[in-house]
Amino acid sequence: MRNNKTYIISLGGSLIAPPAGIDWKFLKKFREVIINEIKNGRRFVIVAGGGRTARLYQDAANKVVKLTDDDKDWLGVHSTRLNAHLIKTIFRDCAHPRVNKNPMTKADLETHFAKGEKIMVAAGWRPGWSTDYVAVILAERLGAKTIINLSNIDYVYDKDPRKYKDGKKIKNINWKNFRKLVGNKWDPGLNAPFDPVASREAEKIGLEVMIMNGKKLNNLKNYLEGKNWKGTIINTD
């Protein structure tokens, strides 16, 4: 089911619910941008991350008992589902009424657009698989070649700029070199521009991922409209 006007957006949980609480002002502006693009003939898959919400639950539980990675992952999965339900709610007039929780069933994916819906909202699936990975699987199954990863960073850096003043921003990088930066192992609560397992799969199927700051919604709009935009491009080149 290939459609060049279908865009996969991996929406970071830190944008939905930062430390200060749910950012309804951001959500309102995000909705305006997406609705405007729908009017231009585009449709979207929005995969909601867990972000701060997941880490709050994980940290709280870990103060009571020692958590296994499986426990951490399930708390993360359900945090993404809570955030996804919020996203689905604000797009209720143009989104399928059910959040997609399993990216592997093709027939299920097709039902999300069967009645002319313009948005599919998706969430985490199961332990070991981040929402970045879910976005990769959905891109493959829906025939999309690009994922837009919205987070709270402007670019990927060669090292954490919060810790190292000499960290350099990267505008273009291939998967081989990007994977050297993020490693190969998934860890619940991992804070990386795009997770290692998802990166491995994206490289294998030849996906292109755009990393950009979701708070700067005019930048997202520029990208969707083919104008100059700021961020990092990860691909097979």
pLDDT at res. 188: 57
pLDDT at 72 over 60: yes
Confidence bin at 105 (pLDDT 50/70/90): confident
Residue type, 198: A
Among residues of the chain, what percentage have pLDDT more than 90? 70
Confidence bin at 171 (pLDDT 50/70/90): very high
- State the average pLDDT over residues 73-94: 95
Confidence bin at 3 (pLDDT 50/70/90): very low
In terms of pLDDT, which residue wins out, 104 or 53? 53
Long-range own/partner contacts, residues 109-116 (CB < 8 A, 24 or more apart): 109/1, 109/138, 109/141, 109/142, 110/1, 113/43
Among residues of the chain, what percentage have pLDDT more than 70? 95
In terms of pLDDT, which residue wins out, 180 or 183? 180
pTM of the model: 0.91
In terms of pLDDT, which residue wins out, 16 or 6? 16
pLDDT at res. 1: 36
Ranking 29-33, 41-45, 114-118 by mean pLDDT, the lowest is 114-118
pLDDT at res. 118: 94
pLDDT at res. 235: 93
Confidence bin at 2 (pLDDT 50/70/90): very low
Q: Give per-residue pLDDT as tens, 119-132.
A: 999 999 988 888 99
Confidence bin at 207 (pLDDT 50/70/90): very high
- State the average pLDDT over residues 52-73: 92
Mean pLDDT of the chain: 90
Residue type, 119: I
Which option is the CATH number for 6-235: 3.30.2010.30, 3.40.1160.10, 3.40.50.450, 3.90.1150.140? 3.40.1160.10
